[in-house]
């Protein structure tokens, strides 16, 4: 399993939100590229980037910060937030993003996911963010009528490389991953699932490993890494030993 450190971008800075609320942002680093280099130095092998402003505005907003990160690292990075059309997908992949994450557009325009998967095989992921089991969109400001499982099933045969499943109620509050719901989703579909939202300590990583779920590709960690609640070396060693 992969542990993805998260770099969430708001107004060009590296922040963490509480349950997706932009007004609940804590700035952890004014220099996202420096933060990316630090994660690389700690031994991480894959970064998770989110353009938070982009998620709300429906277009890339923190492009210069993402560009700086891509120039600063030699490991792959996946990116979500404000990716709503094929041209934007093509631009980011051309700039060196390893995998783009389609969230709102996957709900509102599923044909985009199918077309993108055909054009860029292996490089398209879908972000499914859940509020009380329903998929939230537009930077989590709107909740759709669809369940996470209903959405996931739509893309079973599309060639989606991964689904990033976030429990919004737990995001940024260090209450622990919703492992039960994540594992249930991973067991119900053929697409690999990445757990997100609430990872609070190395205990969560122990629980992920103990779930012994082949459909789990990994987990995303944000605030717990920034707060020092997770020791990167210990977490990465644990995952390596479990591999």
* Catalytic residue ranges: 8, 129
Among the listed residues 62, 19, 69, the one whose alpha carbon sits nearest the alpha carbon of residue 44 = 69
- Strand 124-131 and strand 134-137: pairing? antiparallel
E-strand ranges in the chain read 2-10, 13-18, 21-29, 47-51, 77-80, 99-102, 124-131, 134-137, 142-147, 162-167, 193-196, 216-221
SS3 188: helix
Q: How crowded is residue 159: how many other Cβ atoms within 10 Å of its Cβ?
A: 17
């Amino acid at each position: 399993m992969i542990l993805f450190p998260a770099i969430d971008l708001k107004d060009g800075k590296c922040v963490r939100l509480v349950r997706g609320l932009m007004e609940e942002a804590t700035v952890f680093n004014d220099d996202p590229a420096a933060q990316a280099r630090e994660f690389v130095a700690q031994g991480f092998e894959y970064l998770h980037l989110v353009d938070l402003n982009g998620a709300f505005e429906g277009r890339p907003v923190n492009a210069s910060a993402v560009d700086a990160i891509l120039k600063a690292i030699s490991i792959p990075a996946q990116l979500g937030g404000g990716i709503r059309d094929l041209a934007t997908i093509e631009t980011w992949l051309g700039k060196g993003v390893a995998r783009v994450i389609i969230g709102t557009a996957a709900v509102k325009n599923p044909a985009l996911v199918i077309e993108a998967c055909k054009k860029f095989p292996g490089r398209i992921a879908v972000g499914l963010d859940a509020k009380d089991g329903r998929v939230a969109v537009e930077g989590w400001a709107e909740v759709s009528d669809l369940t996470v499982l209903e959405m996931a099933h739509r893309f079973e045969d599309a060639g989606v490389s991964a689904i990033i499943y976030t429990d919004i109620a737990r995001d940024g509050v260090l209450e622990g991953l919703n492992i039960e719901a994540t594992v249930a989703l991973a067991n119900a579909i053929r697409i690999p699932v990445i757990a997100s939202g609430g990872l609070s300590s190395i205990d969560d990583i122990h629980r992920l490993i103990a779930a012994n779920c082949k459909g789990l590709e990994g987990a995303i960690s944000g605030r717990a890494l920034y707060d020092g609640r997770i020791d990167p070396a210990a977490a990465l060693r644990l995952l390596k030993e479990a591999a």
